[in-house]
Amino acid sequence: MDKRDNREELNLEELRTETLVVHGDDWVTNDRTVAPAIYYTATFRAHNSSEFAEMAGTPRHARYYTRYGNPVHERVAKIMAELEGTETAMVTGSGMGAIATTILALVSAGDHVIAQTRHYMSTAKIMDEMLPRFGVEVTLVEQADINAFAEAIRPNTKLIMVETPANPTLVLTDLAAVAELARPHGIIVAADNTFASPINQRPHDLGVDIVIHSATKYLGGHHDLTAGVICTSEELAERIWHTHISIGSVLSPMDAWLLLRGLRTLPIRMERINANALALAEFLEQQPQVERVYYPGLPSHPQHELAKRQMRGFGAVIAFAIKGGYEETQRFVSALKLPPNAVSLGGVDSLVVHTAAMWEGVMTEEQMRTAGIPSNFVRFSVGIEHIDDLKADVWQALQVV
């Protein structure tokens, strides 16, 4: 028996997360490389025309044409399906690629979709602007109010889209409660799990059908790639894949390889990120220049009990309000020395944004007020730096406010 056979006997179900992210994809290719090979090719040759016919006719084939699939995609998907506890997974070129493809695959003119009043901005645009153009009705509900979901259900409701925690104040959606509401009606529930990561929250365990990630964030973890992942059943993945090959949100084999490298360290990065962010959130709460801190791991978060029930850690993102207005907040953000002033989250380096400054160009003041974005909000994505250095930097920046 050669080593290959030993590997095939690995029971992935028995492996712990830290081991899975390192070995869960070993069996996928027959390469004898230790580091995964990059299949840097757009197309794959068949041995003969009957094999070609078989390749062309097999949905989600990993060695036919890279828009359809690629062995590096397959490795990432294998690990992601294990991490989220779903039958299978597929990768896309960005988080929005994953979200848009999923929604467009599942709804048609005349259908109804329920989504949240707060979503990642580009998801909100799909709900507000794109779906109505195609004759799909959308009802937006307050995500913290489970009755609002119940009341929004109609006979033609096909999909409920949720996102938890959600910007800007890290409001949560009760995933188990939404899934339970949807089940008797046969409504598909999709959750954007980007802000939590599969280490901190597993929506499928709570009854959610489709779990979506912007892998640009924690999964890649180094702010160097964009990618998306869709984790679901074989049946739904095949449906979504047929739309995926038409939309063409393809992940390059190189970026898939970088994502795979990122996944190897996801559990240990999350351990540090969760600990750092909780410590920094507690520190911020004690500072006189800080008006309020929003973090699901703090007892002061209005949904802390739900957070403890459905999450195992609370993630990198802390939102907080500086005492004062736009000017004071700009001064604070500009005085920080460690975190770059940049969008995105979940990487090894901390990042900071003045939320109102980010939306200024895109939203009117009125829209910002309805979206609950006051002028003194800061979003801090905590990285894996030493917590004492982060605290010291935040402290010195608060002194100039």
| Interface contacts to ligand PLP, rule CB under 6 A | 94-96, 120, 163, 192, 194-195, 214, 216-217, 226, 228
Q: Which is nearer to ligand PLP, 120 or 241 (CB)?
A: 120
Q: Buried b / exposed e across 186-223, counting CB within 10 Å, b at 16+?
A: ebbbbbbbbbbbbbbbbbbebbbbbbbbbbbbbbbbeb
Cβ–Cβ < 8 Å for 229, 215 = yes
Cβ–Cβ < 8 Å for 381, 345 = yes
Minimum separation from the CB atom of position 163 to ligand PLP (A): 6
Q: Which is nearer to ligand PLP, 20 or 273 (CB)?
A: 273
Minimum separation from the CB atom of position 118 to ligand PLP (A): 10
Q: Which is nearer to ligand PLP, 94 or 287 (CB)?
A: 94
Cβ atoms within 10 Å, residue 380? 26
Minimum separation from the CB atom of position 287 to ligand PLP (A): 26
Q: Name the residue among 345, 341, 366, 43 with its Cα closest to residue 166.
A: 345
Q: Name the residue among 300, 244, 334 with its Cα closest to residue 61.
A: 244
**Residue 326 a catalytic site member:** no
Cβ atoms within 10 Å, residue 306? 19
Looking at the DSSP bridge assignments, the partners of residue 319 are 294, 379
Q: Which is nearer to ligand PLP, 55 or 178 (CB)?
A: 178
Minimum separation from the CB atom of position 100 to ligand PLP (A): 9
Cβ–Cβ < 8 Å for 332, 378 = yes
Phi (first) and psi of residue 65, to 5 degrees: -155, 135
Which one from 60, 75, 158, 217 is the annotated catalytic residue? Answer: 217
**Residue 217 a catalytic site member:** yes
Give CA torsion, residues 284, 285, 291, 294, to 10 deg: 90
Minimum separation from the CB atom of position 119 to ligand PLP (A): 8
Minimum separation from the CB atom of position 150 to ligand PLP (A): 24
Which one from 25, 111, 174, 192 is the annotated catalytic residue? Answer: 192
* Distance separating alpha carbons of residues 131 and 347, to the nearest angstrom: 32
Q: Which is nearer to ligand PLP, 72 or 398 (CB)?
A: 72
**Residue 120 a catalytic site member:** yes
* Distance separating alpha carbons of residues 369 and 355, to the nearest angstrom: 12
Minimum separation from the CB atom of position 120 to ligand PLP (A): 3
Interior angle at CA 257, CA 253 and CA 261, nearest 5: 170
Which one from 26, 65, 67, 154 is the annotated catalytic residue? Answer: 67
* Distance separating alpha carbons of residues 273 and 385, to the nearest angstrom: 9
Which one from 64, 120, 218, 294 is the annotated catalytic residue? Answer: 120
**Residue 192 a catalytic site member:** yes
The number of residues in the chain equals 401
* Distance separating alpha carbons of residues 366 and 216, to the nearest angstrom: 30
Q: Which is nearer to ligand PLP, 36 or 228 (CB)?
A: 228
Minimum separation from the CB atom of position 226 to ligand PLP (A): 5
- Tokens in use for 39? 């299949």
Q: Which is nearer to ligand PLP, 96 or 104 (CB)?
A: 96
* Distance separating alpha carbons of residues 56 and 26, to the nearest angstrom: 25
| List of E strands, 261-360 | 290-294, 317-322, 351-354
Q: Which is nearer to ligand PLP, 157 or 194 (CB)?
A: 194
Name the residues annotated as catalytic. 67, 120, 192, 217
